[in-house]
Structure 1
Amino acid sequence: MTKETIRVVICGDEGVGKSSLVVSLTKAEFIPTIQDVLPPISIPRDFSSSPSYSPTNTVLIDTSDSDLIALDHELKSADVIWLVYCDHESYEHVSLFWLPHFRSLGLNIPVILCKNKCDSISNANANAMAASENSDDDIDTKVEDEEFIPILMEFKEIDTCIKTSAKTQFDLNQAFYLCQRAITHPISPLFDAMVGELKPLAVMALKRIFLLCDLNQDSYLDDNEILNLQKKCFNKSIDVNELNFIKDLLLDISKHDQEYVNRKLYVPGKGITKDGFLVLNKIYAERGRHETTWAILRTFHYTDSLCINDKILHPKLVVPDTSSVELSPKGYRFLVDIFLKFDIDNDGGLNNQELHRLFKCTPGLPKLWTSTNFPFSTVVNNKGCITLQGWLAQWSMTTFLNYSITTAYLVYFGFQEDARLALQVTKPRKMRRRSGKLYRSNINDRKVFNCFVIGKPCCGKSSLLEAFLGRSFSEEYSPTIKPRIAVNSLELKGGKQYYLILQELGEQEYAILENKDKLKECDVICLTYDSSDPESFSYLVSLLDKFTHLQDLPLVFVASKADLDKQQQRCQIQPDELADELFVNHPLHISSRWLSSLNELFIKITEAALDPGKNTPGLPEETASKDVDYRQTALIFGSTVGFVALCSFTLMKLFKSSKFHK
């Protein structure tokens, strides 16, 4: 990205006019007699002929080859080198001394090679302008550049070459701009001059931009899409003649250039193809107009290394320790629009081909998704395609677990505003105390909740997750090794919609349960046991004994497989007894074959997250009732006292009034 200050070190043989170039540039006049070496000169941004592409400041540093120690010190701190020569001897010295010397210092910075004292070129240009336009004897003012070619071929660090005259002011501003442009709009990341092609990273970036600009997904940039791109990148409309020139140029190349003769660059009536877009930017690079390509790239947040700016992908968000991050209405709206845009067949689901096209402008599916068996971690239709409901649920889960993934993919998808606007941070969770125990206060601003489903293997946890996603029960048993996630939306009484994340921990269950930081992400723990297995409940008892801090969280007991014969649990305490001892609700009996029981469970889990106090162990219901009774008694007592006082005051006034009349 653009540097705040660029250090330009000017070097070359004695007598080539280095100091004169600096003075003529800054004073706008030629001064014959000046000191040998000038002090550093800082040039403000508004000095440049192209200020929109300039840094805040540019520092010109004059040097002398008589003091190599000082010269090397300046070179090592330089951003760009302005290397000057003026005659055959100094030209030979460029390749024999100067450029090898830069390499010996390990410098990897651009070099602007400048031939100074080209006074005759300026005079020829002036004479040409004065000559009649219809003259048969037009003056050929072109200066042959054969001397540049071999040195450009040998030294790739040379960014560009230019001829100047300090005496006549010829191309001074242009040379200065080239020094700035070498840093603000470097050609080396974009174009390989040796082979005459755009570099692979540049091609990848431009292909992604093409996909984002192809709003109707027809593989062409039509006039409206080109106009949108122009306004976005350059803040102005494109001229009709210029647009027609571009179209004609691409048509001409596809007809006469053997490399593109079988590739369509522009199709009349449809627009510019992806190949045409790449060729156009290649032409910009070849003709020294690569700042146009950089303007496009930087509008889409690309850095000089042709990666998207990490600060844009992962903006800092202040999230208190007990808060969570959710999608904002703007974020949900954008994700809905993306889904509808890529649902080409309008069947309400994204098939593999549509998903591939959607994620084509990204690094691919997030690792979090692939590790949790996407798309089967959320709602899919009967063809296995993720639905809009599942799409929004998946992103709600992603944002809750790792919002940085969401901000990055919003940018990849083309969200043009600050990605933080698509998110919202919930209020910090407060703690309350009752009966000597701390517990979480009620939730009123969160829509996404996280539940850990734990229990003995084969107790029905996986079936619970499958049922949550609306899938039919399967008799086939497959042990859960890696953690599994299921996320879906559900609606509570009153029409409020929430997203619930159910996590089965697999073989990592013990490691996660002993990690108190990990449990901060958990809103509810669903303790599941198989009511038909007499050995199942003891597993939960041992977990609660081993990890006593679990009792600081809301707990929901679940007796699964209730359609089978209920068994007495071989345990020192029975499920209902333990629930009474912990002051939580008795186990809810469910079955994957009883849909109503499952819906009741999912609602109960969500309600437990919304009102933790009713489901946290150690908070007896009667304590809360006594508190209410006390407040009611106090209120009644206060009202009674107030009423008696008012009556007494009224009677006293009446008594005094009657006494006075007597």
Structure 2
Amino acid sequence: MAGSAGNASSGGRSNVRVVVAGDSGTGKSSLIVTAAAEAFPSNVPPVLPPTRLPADFYPDRVPLTIIDTSSRFDSRNTLAEELKHADAVVLTYACDQPETLDRLSTFWLPELRRLEVKVPLIVVGCKLDLRDDNQQVSLEQVMSPIMQQFREIETCIECSAVNQIQVPEVFYYAQKAVLHPTAPLFDQETETLKPRCVRALKRIFILCDHDRDGALSDAELNDFQVKCFNAPLQPSEIMGVKRVVQEKLPEGVNSRGLTLTGFLFLHALFIEKGRLETTWTVLRKFGYDNDIKLRDDLLPVPQKRAPDQDGALRPVELDDLFSTAPESPWNEAPYKDAAGKTALDGLSFDGFLSQWALMTLLDPARTLSNLIYIGYVGDPASALRITRRRRLDRKKLQSERNVYQCFVFGPKNAGKSALLNSFLGRPFSENYSPTTSERFAVNIVDQPGGVKKTLVLREIPEDEVKGLLSKKESLAACDIALFVHDSSDEASWRRATELLVDVASHGEDSGFEVPCLIVAAKDDLDPYPMAIQDSTRVSQDLGIEAPIPVSMKLGDFNSIFRRIISAAEHPHLSIPETEAGRNRKHYHQLVNRSLMFVSVGAAVAIVGLAAYRVYAARRNASN
């Protein structure tokens, strides 16, 4: 890390667009022309056309397009559009006109905030040669109050186009601020590395610590240097690096080499000294983008760590596992509390596997990225297995998936949440708290013969069913649908059957038919008077299994979770058929018969034509 990082990766950018703005007469156009021509112009137009600096103009070898702007009132819409498409903004004032400096705080900086321009901002004092010699005030004194108020300012610089003082540096800093931004890496108020940067660097440190002894030896440091900067470190340079760290931070170096603390300290030091390109080169070499997340091209998602010895991962151990990821992926919905916990709030082995299965089901790219973050070094694509489409499973009359997703429907207070809680081994509660947003529960279900399958229950609040079914492919990811009702409440039963018909009809219309089961919850209560007759009639009409009675309060699950898996494995046996669906099928059968006669007729005609051609060919040959 002592080597030069001048040729650091640019993060895949092919161009940087810099917009120059500021009051009229502050030297915008002269600044641009002098930078491009390396000479002060004798005259310049009021507004220049776009100016391009070639790739070899600056060390990062990325072309720069500079956009000049007018500050006239009638050009404000054009200015706003240019600012919104900028990668960086150069904001000018004139060193000999104090009022233009004041205008930064009273107009320009507030205007950029109003337009929500959130890109690096370089403030440039032009016409340095015209400043009154009697007013020698340092740039820091002038700009410090403004920078305190407007933290978005990246750099301040003064220049003179006439005397060609620090003109190229203006656009170098603008480009550098885009290619090697400060904000993702460093908190300037606390002067510390940001948490996501720390987590990324910790992962890199662990990957480079080949012998896993908690320190980078001289050989490991050299390997790291060659990987990131394509140049080895001399022994004297390695000694120099460790000496700098040890002087400032004794625990940064031990007998085995550079510790993680020392590694992080070095990067903070580089950033404080303005050498952000060094840290960015390291991050990009290990696959990170400008948001300090793994680049998409490293996650080959198809179009479509073991637990400790006490049998569970406690929260602190999970945090440690994901400490090299941008954040712990299971701390927020839908993953938080989606898997069963042990008595000590730990995640069991089955729960650990279940969480990975849930994340893969909902967001396979996130699964792959987190595997890489925690140190998976194999081919990421090999970690996923592509299964055939659910529609094909239904045609084949069976499914061989290992993970099944079950949508749980039902009216309010039917017992859906109690079902999910019991699936995770949580105690029954009499307190009713309506579910207001989708909720997941995932666990491993032991099937007959010692086979293990992962089941994901996805509770759909009653109020969200209409919105869900408004999308054609909303059931595409559903392996089976469950309809829960309160068996003691006739209104609950009627609403559950309405939802069942709605879902079945949507499946028939969209082509994503799903097997369905009905659950009669609260079996510990007396059923309403016509419950048996109603359930028998509806089950026979739709051609599905009779409702399955369960009582979460009594712990009587009636093998419901195994039965869900079994129905999902043989989807054709439990797909309901509505009256509209039967009529549609009958119509299609009639149409298909007609098409069959037409096809046979066409086939006869084609065969006859072919026979005639054979006959004609023979006749011509005999002649």
Cα deviations by residue, 1:395-435 (Å, 9 ceiling, x for unpaired): 32344356687578668768899999977886665499xxx
Map 1:72-83; keep pairs closer than 5 Å: 79-81=88-90
- 2:567 is aligned to 608
Give the distance between the partners of 2:544 and 2:403, measured in 1 at CA. Answer: 23
Are 2:18 and 1:7 aligned? yes
Report the CA distance between 1:501 and its aligned residue: 1.8
- 1:385 is aligned to 346
Give the distance between the partners of 2:539 and 2:75, measured in 1 at CA. Answer: 81
- 1:110 is aligned to 122
Map 1:192-591; keep pairs closer than 5 Å: 198=191, 202-215=193-206, 222-223=216-217, 230=225, 234=229, 240-254=235-249, 264-269=251-256, 271-274=258-261, 276-296=262-282, 301=288, 303=290, 307-308=291-292, 339-340=305-306, 343=307, 345-360=308-323, 361-362=326-327, 365-369=330-334, 374=337, 377-380=338-341, 383-401=344-362, 429-430=390-391, 442=397, 444=399, 446-452=401-407, 465=420, 468-469=423-424, 471=425, 479=432, 481-482=434-435, 485-490=440-445, 498-503=453-458, 508-509=461-462, 512=465, 516-517=469-470, 520=475, 522-526=478-482, 535=488, 539-540=492-493, 543-544=496-497, 548-552=501-505, 553-557=514-518, 570-571=530-531, 573=533, 575=535, 579-586=539-546
Give the distance between the partners of 1:459 and 1:188, measured in 2 at CA. Answer: 49
Given that residues 544 and 551 in structure 1 are in contact (C-alpha distance below 8 angstroms), is that contact kept between their aligned partners in structure 2?
no
Report the CA distance between 1:111 and its aligned residue: 3.0
Give the distance between the partners of 1:586 and 1:475, measured in 2 at CA. Answer: 25
Report the CA distance between 1:106 and its aligned residue: 0.3
Given that residues 19 and 62 in structure 1 are in contact (C-alpha distance below 8 angstroms), is that contact kept between their aligned partners in structure 2?
no
Report the CA distance between 1:17 and its aligned residue: 13
Given that residues 96 and 128 in structure 2 are in contact (C-alpha distance below 8 angstroms), is that contact kept between their aligned partners in structure 1?
no
- Note the residue ranges of structure 2 that are not aligned, 5 or more in a row: 1-10, 113-120, 130-135, 148-152, 506-513, 580-584, 590-623
Report the CA distance between 1:296 and its aligned residue: 4.4
Give the distance between the partners of 1:35 and 1:455, measured in 2 at CA. Answer: 79
Q: Number of residue pairs matched?
A: 523
Given that residues 164 and 175 in structure 1 are in contact (C-alpha distance below 8 angstroms), is that contact kept between their aligned partners in structure 2?
no
1:272 counterpart letter in structure 2: T
Report the CA distance between 1:581 and its aligned residue: 4.4
2:405 counterpart letter in structure 1: N
Report the CA distance between 1:543 and its aligned residue: 2.8
Cα deviations by residue, 1:28-64 (Å, 9 ceiling, x for unpaired): 7x7x9x6333865744443224134x3x33438699x
**What is the CA RMSD across the aligned residues, in angstroms?**
6.1
1:51 counterpart letter in structure 2: D
Q: 2:55 aligns with which of 26, 38, 46?
A: 46
Given that residues 231 and 237 in structure 1 are in contact (C-alpha distance below 8 angstroms), is that contact kept between their aligned partners in structure 2?
yes
1:523 counterpart letter in structure 2: D
Give the distance between the partners of 1:426 and 1:491, measured in 2 at CA. Answer: 21
Deviates more, 1:410-419 or 1:222-231: 410-419
**SS at 1:288 equivalent:** coil
Report the CA distance between 1:248 and its aligned residue: 0.5
- 2:132 is aligned to none
CA spacing shift, 1:288–1:302, aligned 2, 3 Å: same
Give the distance between the partners of 2:371 and 2:213, measured in 1 at CA. Answer: 22
**SS at 1:451 equivalent:** strand
Given that residues 245 and 252 in structure 2 are in contact (C-alpha distance below 8 angstroms), is that contact kept between their aligned partners in structure 1?
yes
Give the distance between the partners of 2:244 and 2:503, measured in 1 at CA. Answer: 70
1:203 counterpart letter in structure 2: K
**SS at 1:604 equivalent:** helix
Cα deviations by residue, 1:336-370 (Å, 9 ceiling, x for unpaired): xxx33xx5x44442112212333554167443247
Report the CA distance between 1:605 and its aligned residue: 2.0
**SS at 1:177 equivalent:** helix
Report the CA distance between 1:246 and its aligned residue: 1.9
Given that residues 10 and 18 in structure 1 are in contact (C-alpha distance below 8 angstroms), is that contact kept between their aligned partners in structure 2?
no
Cα deviations by residue, 1:163-219 (Å, 9 ceiling, x for unpaired): 89999x9987666534532443355776788x8x62x6x433332223323428999
Map 1:592-631; keep pairs closer than 5 Å: 601-618=560-577
- 1:99 is aligned to 101
Report the CA distance between 1:573 and its aligned residue: 0.7
Give the distance between the partners of 1:460 and 1:73, measured in 2 at CA. Answer: 59
1:525 counterpart letter in structure 2: A
Report the CA distance between 1:382 and its aligned residue: 6.2
TM-score with structure 2 setting the length: 0.61
Aligned residues with identical type, % of pairs? 21
Cα deviations by residue, 1:555-607 (Å, 9 ceiling, x for unpaired): 33567899x999997436175565444433455677999999955x4343223
- 2:155 is aligned to 159
2:102 counterpart letter in structure 1: P
2:332 counterpart letter in structure 1: K
**SS at 2:444 equivalent:** strand
Report the CA distance between 1:451 and its aligned residue: 2.4
Cα deviations by residue, 1:518-570 (Å, 9 ceiling, x for unpaired): 9725432345689xx8x4788546632575324554233567899x9999974
Report the CA distance between 1:71 and its aligned residue: 13
**SS at 2:533 equivalent:** coil
1:106 counterpart letter in structure 2: W
Map 1:15-94; keep pairs closer than 5 Å: 35-37=42-44, 42-52=51-61, 54=62, 56-59=63-66, 79-81=88-90, 93=96
Give the distance between the partners of 1:17 and 1:575, measured in 2 at CA. Answer: 80
Report the CA distance between 1:502 and its aligned residue: 2.9
**SS at 1:180 equivalent:** helix
CA spacing shift, 1:240–1:499, aligned 2, 3 Å: farther
CA spacing shift, 1:366–1:170, aligned 2, 3 Å: same
Give the distance between the partners of 1:514 and 1:10, measured in 2 at CA. Answer: 46
TM-score with structure 1 setting the length: 0.58
1:110 counterpart letter in structure 2: I
Q: Highest Rg: 1 or 2?
A: 1
Given that residues 554 and 613 in structure 1 are in contact (C-alpha distance below 8 angstroms), is that contact kept between their aligned partners in structure 2?
yes
Give the distance between the partners of 1:443 and 1:485, measured in 2 at CA. Answer: 25
CA spacing shift, 1:106–1:608, aligned 2, 3 Å: same
